[in-house]
Structure 1
Amino acid sequence: MAATRHRGAILLLTLSLVAVAPISRAESAAVNQPAHIAAEESGIASWYGKRHQGRRTASGETFDLNKLTAAHPRLPLGTRLEVTNRRNGRSVEVRVNDRGPHVPGRSLDLSRAAAAALDGVTAGLIPVTMRVVGSPGSH
């Protein structure tokens, strides 16, 4: 009798796991799908540097102001963006490794190196166009 209950419990557990597995795979697939961004999206970028140097980013990496990285509020971490300064036409490719900006009206936070490549360090705020050029894991 105890063996029958034990087998019944194992069968119930197995059926539960089989029923839940497709849901978990579907949720996992949804998390890995790129967030929608128009072919090009315009906005205002700012940059962050010394104060954040060495801190952990949302991706788990250590922030390095000398790398070409960016913080975006919704694109998957690892997404590669081509960012163009609309004032002067300069472009740079960055990798999203953090979340932000956390200031209303801003679309992107750039590392100091990325802002410098756009000639936007002095200005601080840069009108930009962003275009996805690579998904997480692509090189």
Structure 2
Amino acid sequence: MGLLLLLLLAWSEPSRASPSAEEFLVEQSSEPSLFVPVAPLAAPPAPKAVVLQPQIHGAASWYGPGFYGRRTANGETFRPDTLTAAHRTLPFGTRVRVTNLVNGKTVVVRINDRGPFRRHRMIDLAHGAATVLQMKQDGEVPVALEILDSGN
């Protein structure tokens, strides 16, 4: 029993070998510290919202051989088999995904010209884009347009 009481007393008394919390703080404050307090980490920035452009439905036509070698509205020379298009209002350089609604074929074109000049048509495609969409025989097909990025 005496041994148990001795162990209990030894365990309940703080050891003088290590300093108390107050002594530790006093000792630490008198010496230069390598620890530099850092502000709490800020919350990570919110991810940018992905804005999906709605699809716009309308008619597409294509233009080709009669325009080869002429200047487009942005100053480029119109060449055969390019994946470019004419649109009345989109900025030059805008990339647009065009989907042929008859057969499901898609192509990404870059706007480099103005047109079409028929009111019911939404976009005029260069010969190369019309070939990818397999619409050359039809001349005009219903399409869905999706703006991928602005030309600016």
Amino acid of the structure 1 residue aligned with 2:57? S
Alignment of 1:46-125 (within 5 A): 46-125=61-140
Structure 1: gaps of 5 or more residues: 1-37
User: What's 1:12 paired with?
Assistant: none
- Post-superposition Cα deviations, 1:21-47, rounded to whole Å, max 9, x if no partner, equal xxxxxxxxxxxxxxxxx6111110000
Whether the aligned pair in 2 keeps the contact of 1:83 and 1:128 (CA below 8 Å) is: yes
CA distance in 2, matches of 1:75, 1:135: 8
Whether the aligned pair in 2 keeps the contact of 1:47 and 1:121 (CA below 8 Å) is: yes
For residue 65 of structure 1, report the CA deviation from its aligned partner: 2.5
Give yes or no for the alignment of 1:42 onto 2:57: yes
CA distance in 2, matches of 1:134, 1:105: 24
Task: Give the TM-score normalised by structure 1.
Answer: 0.70
Q: Report the identity percentage.
A: 48
Bigger Rg over Cα? 2
CA distance in 1, matches of 2:79, 2:122: 20
Structure 2: gaps of 5 or more residues: 1-52
SS at structure 1 position matched to 2:62: strand
Q: Report how many residues are paired.
A: 100
Tell me how large the CA RMSD over aligned residues is. Answer: 1.0
Amino acid of the structure 1 residue aligned with 2:138? A
CA distance in 2, matches of 1:57, 1:46: 17
CA distance in 1, matches of 2:150, 2:71: 22
CA distance in 2, matches of 1:118, 1:66: 12
- Post-superposition Cα deviations, 1:94-131, rounded to whole Å, max 9, x if no partner, equal 00000000112110000011011001000000110000
Larger helix proportion, structure 1 or 2? 1
SS at structure 1 position matched to 2:121: coil
Whether the aligned pair in 2 keeps the contact of 1:48 and 1:65 (CA below 8 Å) is: no
User: What's 2:49 paired with?
Assistant: none
CA distance in 2, matches of 1:119, 1:89: 10
